[in-house]
């Protein structure tokens, strides 16, 4: 029998340099401008406090500028770099990538849910970290940390599991705690099915809950008034959802048309050798993105 030919090993392409690079902040050029209101957000305060207390947890990602040796384009980490400048830090260790693919970093982001935040805080506290230190690192008060640690007290495990990857807020979870476990599961399933995790919707579900499914039943007269108000809230929430879906559908069609026209225009421009040479010499990062867009076959599915 003939021996089977061995499969050739395919070399693995590494997306990042194997070592981090120490870079001065003055040599890092951002690819976008941060909104002026970013420093007024709680997320900014949290990042600033975390870097001040613990240092950088996630390194910024940069790519080399071919036309300026020693200088870098900032692919990911714009808020972190601005926070370092705010703290008076002049250098930072960076991950160096061979491409400026900002889409993956800036668009495909998984936000931490309230349930995940609760579990992470519990894990840190269980490991022996003082509440005060954790509060400083997250830019929150000690009362907020303790409240987050108790967030899921009174919520059954099945409901916690359903809420794990949802944007359900702590206020909505507090409403669920007033229901018995079986009703909690039913309410969460309705919230997940409708992708509506707002507090008014949770309150509407609470008001529509039979008294025997509540942890503490209210008076019958008050219950009837709450139910009527709850139904009105549900109708308003559904109307908002329908309006939002209709708006998204309309804007999607317009966006596809605009992108199709833009692609055709860029294809025409890149057919001009002089334009391509100028972009390659002066704006190579723009040229790469334009070429990627012209290579997309179906704009509607991109």
DSSP strands (E only) in the chain: 21-24, 28-30, 61-64, 72-76, 91-96
**Coil, helix or strand for 67?**
coil
Q: Where are the domains of the chain?
A: 21-107, 111-151, 246-301
Q: CB 72: neighbour CB atoms within 10 A? A: 20
- pLDDT digits 0-9 by tens, 50-90: 898 888 888 999 998 888 888 998 988 889 999 999 999 99
- Topology of domain 21-107, per CATH? 3.90.1530
106 contacts 76 by C-beta, under 8 angstroms:
yes
Residues 205-221: pLDDT tens digits?
A: 888 888 888 987 544 44
Please, are residues 62 and 149 in contact by the beta-carbon 8 Å criterion? no
- Please state the rounded mean pLDDT for residues 2-18: 67
pLDDT of residue 231: 63
């Amino acid at each position: 029998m003939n021996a089977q030919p061995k499969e050739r090993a395919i070399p693995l392409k590494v997306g990042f340099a194997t070592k981090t690079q120490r870079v001065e902040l003055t040599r890092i050029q951002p690819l976008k401008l941060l909104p002026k209101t970013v420093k007024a957000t709680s997320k900014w305060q949290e990042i600033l406090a975390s870097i001040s207390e613990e240092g950088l947890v996630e390194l910024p990602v940069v790519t080399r500028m071919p036309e300026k040796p020693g200088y870098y384009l900032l692919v990911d980490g714009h808020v972190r770099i601005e926070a370092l400048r705010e703290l008076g830090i002049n250098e930072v260790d960076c991950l160096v990538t061979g491409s400026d693919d900002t889409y993956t970093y800036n668009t495909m982001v998984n936000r931490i849910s309230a349930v995940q935040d609760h579990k992470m805080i519990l894990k840190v506290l269980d490991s022996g970290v003082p509440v005060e230190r954790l509060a400083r690192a997250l830019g929150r008060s000690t009362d907020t940390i303790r409240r987050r640690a108790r967030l899921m007290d009174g919520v059954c495990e099945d409901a916690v599991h359903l809420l794990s990857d949802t944007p359900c807020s702590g206020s909505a979870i507090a409403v669920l705690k007033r229901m018995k476990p079986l009703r909690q599961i039913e309410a969460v399933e309705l919230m997940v099915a409708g992708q509506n995790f707002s507090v008014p919707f949770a309150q509407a579900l609470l008001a529509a809950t039979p008294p025997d499914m509540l942890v503490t039943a209210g008076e019958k007269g008050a219950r009837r008034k709450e139910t009527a108000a709850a139904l009105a809230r549900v109708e308003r929430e559904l109307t908002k959802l329908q309006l939002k879906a209709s708006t998204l559908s309309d804007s999607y069609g317009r966006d596809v048309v605009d992108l199709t026209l833009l692609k055709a225009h860029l294809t025409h421009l890149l057919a001009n050798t002089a334009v391509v040479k100028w972009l390659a010499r002066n704006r190579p990062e723009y040229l790469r993105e334009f070429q990627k867009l012209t290579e997309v076959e179906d704009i509607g599915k991109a």
